[in-house]
Structure 1
Amino acid sequence: MQPKPVTGLNVLTSTLRILPDIGRILKGIYHLASAKADKYQSIGRMFETRAAQHPDQCFLRYEDTQYSYKQFNLWSNQICHYLASQGVKSGDVVALMMENRPETLACVLGITKLGAIVSMINTTQRDEVLLHSLTTVTPKMTIIGEECVAVYQDVADKINKTPEFKQFYMADGSTTPAPADFIDLDKALEDQPTHNPESSSQIQMKQTAYYIFTSGTTGLPKASILTHFRWIKAMGAFGLSAFRIRHNDVFYVCLPLYHNNALTVSWGSIVGAGATMVLARKFSASRFWDDCRRYDVTAFCYIGELCRYLLNQPEKSNDREHKVRVMGGNGLRPDIWMRFKQRFGVPQIMELYGASECNIAFVNSLNLDMTAGYCPMSFDIVKYDIEKDEAIRDAQGFLIPVEKGETGLLIAEVTERSPYEGYTNQKANQSKIMRDVFKDGDMYFNSGDLVQRQGYKHVAFVDRLGDTFRWKGENVATTEVEEVTNQFPQIDHSVVYGVQIPNSDGRAGMAAITLNTELNQFDVNSFSEHVKSKLPGYAVPLFLRIRQQQDITGTFKYKKGDLKKEGFNFETFNEPVFVLLPNQTQYQPLDKQTLSQLNLGAVQI
């Protein structure tokens, strides 16, 4: 099922349905309109306001523990005062490496109240990748959870430390003492003051609040800059205007706090409404709906892969027995959108689009099906040449917008209202900026994403530029192929990408698939017929790689970069590969002789 154009009737009927929530929507618009980069407002100040308004309201539930807004605010104040006494000041960077638990969020809040910057370290990183993340932003201090100490210590000696550098330890529900060279942060907080610090009201919205690292699917992670401005805009746009979170909502957060959807979208939505957060240590597909029932959850934030994991769980008679009224997030693919909605009975799916480094965002505030939603900011969708890997320019040297229903590159104008905050790496920043786009001197952010123009300022995500490939003179969108392969009943997950074949132009399609049955039960004949009947010839994958499980990042993204490098040479990864050779009607196991012929360019594809 493919996304459809948005019509005027869609917009009208959906607008009428949301009229009862107009007050909350207008409140969100007010926060958006009043957000100015130079204004003195901050995450910490927003939280202090909520704590004063609703001191006894439950802010956070974690397992069997809960904290009111007042309790959590006082705790974060202690962290703020203590770190200030240790020399942390506005603009300094503190690296934080802890799994999802209350201490993590309390540290984020305490550090940002100082005007300092939290570097959110991905807790799944190891060795050189971890060292890169710890050093790329030069932290003045680190706070390491007990659960992450061992992997941190593997690289700690290689960190460039200033004379003021300190390492703090946060116990994980145990009495294990802090390792040598660490300061026990819990103990240090015992005699700290609890009043709101003056610093939280001296922060301008344009100041950086934290760094979120890219997933690192195609290289070393880059640190994306997230300002107080972005967080407060997200609170208004997502939490109030789109999700329309209420004071009595219970919002489930199972994505890692180093992910933008958790720390910006979810947390901002919760604080904006004075609602309650239920924090899970990590995502569990088997426990997800049980948690929703246990805590009376009414809202949650997702990424697309999370939804697929839930859908792949065995069906239960109580799948629709929950109180969830809205789910918001990004990456819910068209092939599972309606199945998910019908099976679990969630009435509102607020899909959104907006990478950590992107200067605009789309949100499905009208609750339409299979759309990333609407954006009021200045953007366009332009023609793109996949083979040359560049946007197409006209005779005057300017880019060419696509028509409604067509697919192109999404670009967003960089303006005072939509500034580009980007990465800490200036070279990476320049590579994302396009100049002289529609007139001399204008400037646009290059999203690196292909989207479909649906009309009425709505778009549907199609593919990442680096994932779309060209074969037999045609562009192949991996998401469209994955939609078809995932429809086959014996397949749990599939990841599609392009691989190079010697003496062939372009890239041939390859699908890494995980089965929900044993390999000897896989009906290759039926699968061959399935893909050939559903896809044009050029889009049918030539290779299948059978995997026990897919490799994913800590933010649930598939590691396509590694798959592309390994190609179809099964001798390097020891997993079965099937190939659909010319004049064959079905996939056959790839053997050493055929592999050798392919590598020599002796097989005409």
Structure 2
Amino acid sequence: MFSAWITALIAGVSTLVIQKLFFPYFWMDLKLLTKAISYGIKIEIYKKTAKVVTVLDRFMQQAQKIPNKPFIIYEDNAFTYQDVDKRSNKVAQVFFKQGGLKKGDTVALLMSNEPDFINVWFGLCKLGCAVAFLNFNIKSRSLLHCFNSCGAKTLVVGSDMTDTLEDILPNLHEDNISVWIMASESHQPGINTILDKLEDAPDEPVPAHLRATDSVKTPTLYIFTSGTTGLPKAAVISQLQSLKGAAGLWAYGATADDIVYVTLPLYHSAASLIGVGGCIELGATFVLKKKFSASQFWSDCRKYNVTVFQYIGEICRYLCNMPKKEGEKDHKVRMGVGNGVQQNIWKEFLDRFGDIKLCELYGSTEGNVCFMNHIGKIGAVGRSNFFYKRIFKYCLVKYDMENGEIILNEQGFCEEVKKGEAGLLLSQINSMSPFFGYAGSKSLTEKKLLRDVFMKGDVYLNTGDLMVEDQEDFIYFKDRIGDTFRWKGENVSTTEVADVVGIIDFLQEANIYGVSVPGYEGKAGMAAVVLNPGCGFDGKSLYEHVEHYLPGYARPRFVRIQKSMEITGTFKQQKFRLVESGFNPSTITDSLYFLDESQKCYVPLTTEIFDIIVSGQIKL
């Protein structure tokens, strides 16, 4: 008896030792996997029964269960679940009775971060409408394209966004688009007002059958992503994707007692799906900030007892660049959820601000694959394991950076890279990992797909991202390929910028790419250009041109004048060598220019200016 007990004890200790040595993350992986399976079963039940409990349904359940609990805190004002439920009912009533909207319509929303963004969003969804979130940074041609591409016939505009309408209002009226503004009165003809009508509208719910859906594939949102073919594309966000996003905070261990700080723009999926949707799933409260402020961040966290915050890498870098103060660890923040923190910034952030678990995640707005770094491993964007790989089929394949092409074997198929090597991330499209694509032309969706990848008939999504998976199954982001790069937390389409830059009269051709700048996340835009014969470079005109047509994050910070444009063996513009050579005037013989905001002009990039930029004395 005693010997059997000793044998069992030794076996148990041996198992623990083996697990610790060879499977150190087993229990943390198992915990996340268990959550994922339980949530997946719930969604499968929705599919089988055709009775989908959407994120909006979940919100209305919470409004009944915890009506007086604050849902939104904005500029010292608290709005409870019941407050938001009733005001969004009013919005629904206005558009149901006076806006002529019906179930299945698409409405475009152009608003900054404010509570009425949520109220309008939810009110329209209560009518069964899909809502298209417009990026308020984009202008004129791009904005009009976004509006048209999602098929919207109604536009709702925030009161602080009316100036954005000036260039496109005639086009909207010509197309019989109904324009509504969040104001009590308007001095512009042909614009409907909302606030005056909300005062008289009942706060009773509209019929429940309007919002009901029997399929998780039903579109609920359109969120715009950078277009590799030029203009932004409207990614279709289904009820399934919305539900998955709402589970993110819960999967990382957030609870109903957490207070979440949301400073990212609500038109992005991170803030709307993960932040707002995540709080709804938990029954938690979130603090909404109109715009991120590094100087107010920690005082806000202390003031509102924030425990969880959303971030992009730029936010953590901005916070680390602030002057040091006493008591920087005096707060209740325990977790951050986001993506894009560089390893050195990550370490500095923890050393300076305390034991805060940064939970990186990887996933594009329209993508069908997601990685979560639930371990908190510094530098990793996510983690995989044996079980994840069996459920969600993904691979990293060999890619030729210089020529911008996937490397194929003799049989014409892709080949996977070895552990520790960089490869292009592809994700198989199947019933477990569907891809809903983009609104508009089917060709936009088709261009993201790769067929016959490992065998005839298979279909994979091309994420456009180079990744590395190490021996412990941690996944690291390396670079974006092709026609996009990331700057200031936004994806920039090189094709869209090239189209805008290329129409100025003294340029023959423009090649847009991103270059690394010390101390900055992502890559700053750079344009390699060829001048028209007999023309000189006009830095003033180019500055005025890009300022008018491009949002700040998309404007090229540097310009390189070339005699002729380099191309690859497949006749594409050569970007790889340009990216590698950067913007250092001491190593580049071509003439270089820098976007100088103070002079409102592209000025010659001298070695002195270069040194000041690299040292951080000039802010990009």
Same fold (TM over 0.5): yes
Residue 442 (structure 1) aligned with residue 458 (structure 2) = yes
Aligned pair partner of 1:252 in 239, 261, 276 = 261
Match of 1:223 in 2: 234
1:284 paired with 2:299, answer no
Q: Relative to structure 1, is the Cα distance of residues 373 and 21 closer, same or farther in structure 2, using a 3 angstrom cutoff?
A: closer
Q: Which of the residues 47, 59, 62 maps onto 1:47?
A: 59
| TM-score, normalised relative to structure 1 | 0.76
Q: How does 1:561-576 map to 2 (within 5 A)?
A: 573-576=602-605
CA contact (8 A) 2:226 2:484 kept: no
Equivalent pair of 1:494/1:511 in contact (CA under 8 Å): no
Percent identity, please.
Answer: 31
Select which of 164, 180, 189 maps to 1:180: 189
Query: How far 1:132 sits from its partner (Å)?
Result: 1.7
Aligned CA distance change for structure 1 residues 9 and 39 (closer, same or farther; 3 Å): farther
Q: Which residue of 2 aligns with 1:192?
A: 202
Counterpart mapping for 1:381-530 below 5 A: 381-424=396-439, 425-455=441-471, 457-466=473-482, 482=516, 485-486=518-519, 495=524, 507-508=577-578, 509-511=580-582
Give CA-to-partner distance per residue, 1:402-443, whole Å, 9 cap, x none: 111000100000011111112114222111000011111010
Equivalent residues in 2 for 1:107-122 (5 A)? Answer: 107-122=120-135
Supply the distance in 2 between the matched residues of 1:444 and 1:544 (Cα, whole angstroms). 40
Q: Secondary structure at the match of 1:265?
A: helix
CA contact 2:51–2:213 (8 Å) conserved in 1 = no
Q: Would you say the 8 A contact 1:142–1:166 is kept in 2?
A: yes
Change (3 A) 1:197 1:341: farther
Partner of 2:328: 319
- Are the counterparts in 1 of residues 186 and 192 from structure 2 also a CA contact under 8 Å? no
Cα distance in 2 between the residues matched to 1:337 and 1:293:
21
Give the CA deviation at 1:129.
1.8
Choose the corresponding residue for 1:370, options 379, 382, 385: 379
Matched, 1:78 2:107: no
Aligned-pair CA distance for 1:319? 2.1
Deviates more, 1:395-404 or 1:214-223: 214-223
Contact 2:185–2:193 under 8 Å retained in 1: no
CA shift, 1:280, in A, is: 0.5
Give the match for residue 182 of structure 2.
170
Aligned position for 2:161? 148
In the alignment, which residue of structure 2 is the partner of 1:567?
none
Between the aligned partners of 2:478 and 2:197, the Cα distance in structure 1 is 50
Corresponding residue SS for 1:451: strand
- Give me the whole-angstrom Cα distance separating, in 2, the residues matched to 1:213 and 1:572: 30
Aligned to 2:607: 578
Distance change in 2, residues 1:543/1:169 (3 Å): same
Q: CA deviation at 1:208?
A: 1.0
Q: 2:218 aligns with which of 207, 222, 231?
A: 207
**Partner AA of 1:332 in structure 2:** V
Q: What is the CA–CA distance in structure 1 between the aligned matches of 2:104 and 2:563, rounded to whole Å? A: 51
Question: How far did 1:141 drift?
Answer: 1.0
From 318, 322, 327, give the equivalent of 1:309.
318
Assess if the C-alpha contact under 8 Å between 1:547 and 1:575 holds in 2: no
Indicate how the Cα distance of structure 1 residues 309 and 219 shifts in structure 2: closer, same or farther if over 3 A, else same: farther
CA RMSD of aligned residues (A): 3.7
1:299 equivalent in structure 2: 308
Report matched runs for 1:527-542 at 5 Å: none
Alpha-carbon contact 1:413-1:443 (below 8 Å) kept: yes
* Structure 2 match to 1:344: 353
Please state whether the residue corresponding to 2:235 is helix, strand or coil.
strand
Q: Secondary structure at the match of 1:370?
A: coil
Residue 131 of structure 1 corresponds to: 144
Offset of 1:115 from its aligned partner?
A: 2.1
Deviations 1:330-378 (A, max 9, x none): 1112232211222222421110111112111111122222111135321
Residues 292 and 572 of structure 1: CA distance in aligned 2, closer, same or farther (over 3 Å): closer
Code of the aligned partner of 1:151 = T
Q: Which amino acid aligns with 2:524?
A: V
1:543/1:579 contact within 8 Å kept: no
The CA distance in 1 between the partners of 2:75 and 2:143, in whole Å, is: 29
State the 1:10 CA deviation: 8.8
SS at match of 1:201: coil
- Conserved in 2, the CA contact under 8 Å of 1:325 and 1:348? yes
In structure 2, relative to structure 1, the CA distance for the partners of 1:429 and 1:74 (3 Å cut) is same
Please say if residues 482 and 494 of structure 1, whose CA atoms lie closer than 8 Å, have aligned partners that are also in contact: yes
Cα 1:403–1:35 shift into 2, 3 Å: farther
1:43 CA drift (Å): 2.4
Structure 1 equivalent of residue 100 of structure 2 = 87
Matches within 5 A, 1:226-241: 226-236=237-247, 238-241=248-251
Q: Is the 8 A contact 2:128 2:212 kept in 1?
A: no
How far residue 495 of structure 1 moved from its aligned partner, in angstroms, is 3.4
Tell me, in whole angstroms, the C-alpha distance in 2 between the residues paired with 1:318 and 1:290.
11
Q: Distance in 2 between matches of 1:246 and 1:261?
A: 18
Contact 1:408 1:450 in 2 (8 A): yes
Shift of 1:41: 2.7
User: Cα offset for 1:194?
Assistant: 1.8
Q: Is the 8 Å Cα contact of residues 358 and 420 (structure 1) preserved in structure 2? A: yes
Q: CA 1:388 to 1:21, structure 2 compared with 1: closer, same or farther past 3 Å?
A: closer
Deviation at 1:8, TM superposition (A): 8.2
Deviation sequence 1:463-511 (CA, Å, 0-9, x none): 0003799xxxxxxxx99x848x33xxxx899738695855878523354
Q: What CA distance in whole angstroms lies between the structure 1 residues aligned with 2:374 and 2:396?
A: 20
2:172 alignment partner, SS class: coil
SS of match in other structure, 2:607: strand
SS in 1 for 2:86: helix
